[in-house]
Amino acid sequence: MKHPLNSIIHLFSSLVLIVGFQGILHADDDLINADLSHLSLTQAEQLFSKNNKEVLAAKRAVEGSEADTLTAGQKPNPVLSMGVSSFNLNRKQGNTNPNGSNSLENKTLDSGLQLNQLFERGNKRELRLASAENAVKASKLDFKDTFRQQKLVLKGAYYDLLLAQESEQIQKNNVALYEKSLQAADLRLKAGDISATDVARIRVDALRAKNDQRQSVADREKAQANLAYLIGQEKVASSIVATDTWPSLNLGASEVIDHDTATDETILSQRADIQAADARAQQAEDNRRLAQSLKTRDVTVGVQYDHFPGQNPGVGEDTVGASVSIPLFTSYQYQGEIARAEVDFTSALEAKEQTRAAALGEITRARADLNAATEKVQRVDGEMLSEAKKAADAAEFAYQHGAMNVTDLLDARRVLRALELDAAVVRADYAKSLATWQAAINPEEAP
């Protein structure tokens, strides 16, 4: 009999093993279940890889094309035929065997068993399989390109949310400033220091600032919804808060290069969309050869066994036979299929060139956008924003000391707020331009 202490130790060890095993199983789930209220771009990318609907649909397309290769590589199945003939409709003497036994097996019925096998010629099976394999290759490359494009959309949505959050904070600060100014203006009005007209102007601008703040809240909610869809978190979209900062300006400056045809050609050769177009062109070539192979006649070979009792004496009841079937192209020689395959091949070559042209245009535009965005960020952060803050602070000081009227003060505030919002937009444009450039020249491997 086991000691109770040993049983307890054994039970405890089993529980530890079970919990540990479950922990291993759910390790990835814990990694994916990120804190949406403090969502970094890296965490968003992890959720995107697991939950993005467009990426999952592209993955299913790859699986479907892989299944097609099983169909394409199969040989034709043999066909088994069975039949009975020579039924005599005479009720009294019908199918009676005059030679003796009149059992079902010996009735004068002609029964036959035939097996036919189609033999394909002209390398049809090999060409079908090659076409299907190129289709799989193109589907996998399409999946990689879909992943690249959707990840770029994800980064854009993340930066849109970051911009919306920053804009909302700017509007909140603006509203708070106007509320303080309005309170101070009311006190100065009671003291007879300013006119009621000046107070009314401040109040109008304060109400306008509240409207702008409400619009910024709506923009942030829409940005949350867009990002939530991309990472599969639609039900908890309102809890998403982006926490990353804007990309460093040095990162973009180090990546941008001048236009170089040789470099662009190297980039193009590595892109998944270009490689997918190449695979589809090869698939169209295989289909063209497959259509031409239809003119090579397939052969059907058959063997047959017949059982026909009640024949003349000396004639056996069982016979065997063989047959060969060859199609005759007397009226149609697959001209339509061949012509269609030729058109599809030409279309695939044109689509390949179109894809290359679109990719080259994407690289050129991304380079131009990133160069422009880099310069705008440098100007905004280096000069414009600091000068606007100095001007606004000077206006506040001048107004408090009676050296500036309320109209000029409000104008200075509007200029500063507009520049702060513009600065946020410029940083967002730079972040998205950098992401577009990186996606254009450095396609990431899909999971």
With bands split at pLDDT 50, 70 and 90, how would you rate the model's confidence at 135?
Answer: very high
Any domain includes 146: yes
> Do the domain assignments include residue 248?
yes
Q: Is residue 139 part of a domain?
A: yes
Would the pLDDT of 8 be above 70? no
The pLDDT tens digits of the residues spanning 160-179 come to 999 999 999 999 988 888 88
Give the model's pLDDT for residue 307: 82
Average pLDDT over the chain, rounded to an integer: 83
pLDDT at 236 over 70: yes
- Contacting residues for 422 by C-beta, under 8 A, at least 6 apart: 380
Q: Is residue 27 part of a domain?
A: no
Same-domain status, 230 and 322: no
What is the percentage of the chain residues whose pLDDT exceeds 90? 53
For residues 160 and 262, membership in a common domain is answered with yes
pLDDT above 50 (res 25):
no
Tens of pLDDT, residue by residue over 271-282, are: 999 999 999 999
Residue 141 sits in the same domain as residue 239 = yes
25 found inside a domain: no
Count up the domains in the chain and report the number: 2
Average pLDDT over residues 40-61: 93
Taking residues 99-126, what's their average pLDDT? 83
pTM of the full structure: 0.79
Q: In the predicted model, is pLDDT for residue 16 greater than 60?
A: no
Q: How far is CA 286 from the centre of its chain?
A: 27
Same domain, 135 and 169: yes
Greater pLDDT, 236 or 309 = 236
pLDDT band at 142 (very low <50, low <70, confident <90, very high): very high
Q: Is there a domain that residue 177 lies in?
A: yes
For residues 348 and 276, state if they share a domain. Answer: yes
Per-residue pLDDT of 343-372, as tens digits, reads 999 999 999 999 999 999 999 999 999 999
pLDDT computed for residue 381 by the predictor: 78
**Residue after which a domain boundary falls, among 317, 332, 347:** 332
- Residue 3 is assigned to a structural domain of this protein: no
Same-domain status, 276 and 395: yes
Domain stops at, among 308, 332, 356:
332
The verdict on 170 and 302 lying in the same domain is: no
The reply to whether 114 and 247 lie within a common domain is no
**Which residues form the domain of 327?**
104-119+297-332
> What are the pLDDT digits (tens) for 388-419?
777 777 777 776 766 666 667 777 777 778 78
- Please report which confidence band the pLDDT of residue 147 belongs to, taking 50, 70 and 90 as the band edges: very high
Residue 327: C-alpha distances to residues 27, 288, 337, 339, 380 (Å): 62, 21, 17, 21, 78
Least confident segment among 9-13, 230-234, 276-280: 9-13
- Pair of tokens at residue 419: 């520049």
pLDDT higher than 50, residue 24? no
Task: State the CATH number of the domain containing residue 253.
Answer: 1.20.1600.10
- Mean pLDDT computed over 330-347: 94
Q: Predicted confidence band at 294 (pLDDT cuts at 50, 70, 90)?
A: very high
Contact (CB, 8 A) for 444 and 435: no
Q: How far is CA 205 from CA 77, 179, 208, 371, 409, in A?
A: 82, 10, 5, 37, 11
Q: What burial class does residue 255 get, using C-beta atoms within 10 Å of its C-beta: 0-12 exposed, 13-18 middle, 19+ buried? A: middle
> What is the distance in angstroms between the CA of the first residue and the CA of the last residue of the chain?
54
Q: Could you tell me if 115 and 199 lie in one domain?
A: no
Does residue 388 belong to any structural domain of this protein? yes
Tell whether 115 and 125 lie within a shared domain: no
- Same domain membership, residue 316 and residue 176: no
- Same domain for 250 and 311? no
User: Which one of 1-15, 156-170, 298-312 scores highest in mean pLDDT?
Assistant: 156-170
pLDDT of residue 28: 44
Question: From CA 385, how far away is CA 376, in angstroms rounded?
Answer: 12
